[in-house]
A = this chain, B = another copy of it.
Amino acid sequence: MLKLSRLTDYAAVVMAQIARHPQASHAAADLAEAVQLPHPTVSKTLKMLVKAGLLVSQRGVQGGYRLARPASHITAADIIAAIEGPVAMTECSQAEGECDLAATCGVADNWQRVSLAIRTLLESVTLAHLADTTPIKLPVQLPIQSISLASA
């Protein structure tokens, strides 16, 4: 299904929540309340986002989390990578060494191109887009079609 993990979903929701009030410091408990998810789980997610450098944290009274940089400079790919690791479609596309089956595979190159296209797409969607409640109007039909046609 090419599905995101549930934690990644949480991460996006939480990041969006923070992005809507960028000047404030957000405690984990407050965020959990705001998005109606269990505190420990939200907390775990936040820690991962800090480790990935998307959030900065402040301990102690009045502490909490803030964006590490403007929402327009944080991409969907960043958020996904923070929770799930590098965005890649196949195992061989992230392994260092060659895949044992490279000789008989025959699709590796083109899969990687598709993977790259998806990554580029995800890098072009920012947290600012996601946090905005007004829809992004994606004119997917035409530009995307042109990608496949390029090979024909």
By a beta-carbon cutoff of 8 Å, the part of chain A in contact with chain B is: 1-4, 6, 9, 12-13, 16-17, 20, 34-37, 76, 80, 84-91, 94, 101, 103-107, 109-111, 113-114, 116-118, 120-122, 124-126, 129-133, 135-141, 143-148, 150-151
Contacts and interface: CB of A to CB of B under 8 A. Distances in A.
Nearest to A33: B104
Which of A126, A137, A147 is packed against the most chain B CB atoms within 10 Å? A147
Nearest to A15: B107
A136 B121 contact: no
A38 to B, nearest CB: 12
B133 A139 contact: no
A100 to B, nearest CB: 8
